[in-house]
Structure 1
Amino acid sequence: MSAEVAQLVDQAGPYLTAAIGAYGAAVLTRAEDAAADATATLGRRILHAVWRRRDEAGQAEVERVVDEAADEQDESYTAAVLGRLLRRVLQEDAELCAELSAMLPAPAAGTVTVTASGERSIAAQHIGTAITGDGHTAPRP
């Protein structure tokens, strides 16, 4: 696998996961919503670009993988399934690599991207105590 494909898959992963989390299996049929989260919208655009460049059998495969990912509650599994599909598709299609490179923000050296998706989600590069839910109080030192 080329370094460029690996980098694109790593960059696109959080967007794809956010899109599936926000839209579920309807991600391929949902119209763009101006109020939608930018991360999920970019993920939807990436999936549409992949789907659009596939033949009928390839489109059916993308739909199957998206349905499978949408049914899964484990975000790491979803990311892995979508990453495998994207990696394979990008290895076969150099033009799609260029298209996705143009869509994705350029990675900055030393920058860390942290994405949270879903109700009451939290995300942090480093965290001490995080509590989500109702009726909790912070632990006392």
Structure 2
Amino acid sequence: MSTEIVQFMGQAGPYLTAALGAYGAGVLARTEDAAVEATANVGRRMLQAVWRRRDEQGRAELEAAVQDAAEDAEDTDAAAALRQQIRRTVREDAELLRELAALLPVNGPVTVTASGERSIAAQTIGTAVTGDNTTLGP
């Protein structure tokens, strides 16, 4: 298996898990839901793209893997079987791998936490000032 596929699967895992957690086994039939976090929607879009690229038998196999993984989020074997279904599809379709990789945020999921009085948390920031009697100027 190519390094590119292995790397992609490692990055896609949290999105696939979030999609299954948010949508369950119905993930392949769901449309985007603005109320569901972006991570789950990315995973849903990935699974649907894989499903569209498969033939009838491949779709049935993917649906079964999604069902198994959705039924028990702690079942690592079911999660591995789902990842294997995706790997099989992207190994045979380099364009699909590019399409799926483009769905991933450039830097992956970001968690920003601020803790403490006057703390600031931001993924990117221009100018941030905390404190009393602070002036900004040239």
Which of the five TM-score ranges fits, normalised by the shorter chain? 0.7 to 0.9
* Aligned ranges 1:112-127 → 2 under 5 Å: none
Give the letter aligned to residue 11 of structure 1.
Q
Using the TM superposition, give the Cα deviation of residue 82 of structure 1 relative to its aligned residue in structure 2, in angstroms.
2.3
Partner of 1:72: 72
Contact 2:27/2:44 (CA < 8 Å) preserved in 1?
yes
CA distance in 2 between counterparts of 1:113 and 1:76 reads 24
User: SS state of the match for residue 30, structure 1?
Assistant: coil
Answer with 1 or 2: which has the greater Rg: 2
CA distance in 2 between counterparts of 1:66 and 1:31 reads 16
Matched, 1:102 2:99: no
TM-score (norm 1): 0.71
Partner of 2:93: 93
Partner of 1:55: 55
CA distance in 2 between counterparts of 1:62 and 1:78 reads 11
Structure 2 unmatched ranges of 5 or more: 112-138
TM-score (norm 2): 0.73
Aligned-pair Cα RMSD in Å: 2.0
Using the TM superposition, give the Cα deviation of residue 97 of structure 1 relative to its aligned residue in structure 2, in angstroms.
0.7
Using the TM superposition, give the Cα deviation of residue 59 of structure 1 relative to its aligned residue in structure 2, in angstroms.
0.9
Contact 2:18/2:43 (CA < 8 Å) preserved in 1?
yes
CA distance in 1 between counterparts of 2:36 and 2:102 reads 21
CA distance in 2 between counterparts of 1:30 and 1:12 reads 19
User: SS state of the match for residue 32, structure 2?
Assistant: coil
CA distance in 1 between counterparts of 2:91 and 2:17 reads 20
Using the TM superposition, give the Cα deviation of residue 15 of structure 1 relative to its aligned residue in structure 2, in angstroms.
0.4
Change in CA separation of 1:105 and 1:15 when aligned onto 2, cut-off 3 Å? same
Comparing both chains, which one has the higher relative contact order based on Cα–Cα distances under 8 Å and sequence gaps of 6 or more? 1
Indicate the percent of aligned positions where both proteins have the same amino acid: 56
**What is the count of residue pairs matched by the alignment?**
111
Give the letter aligned to residue 70 of structure 1.
A
User: SS state of the match for residue 106, structure 1?
Assistant: coil
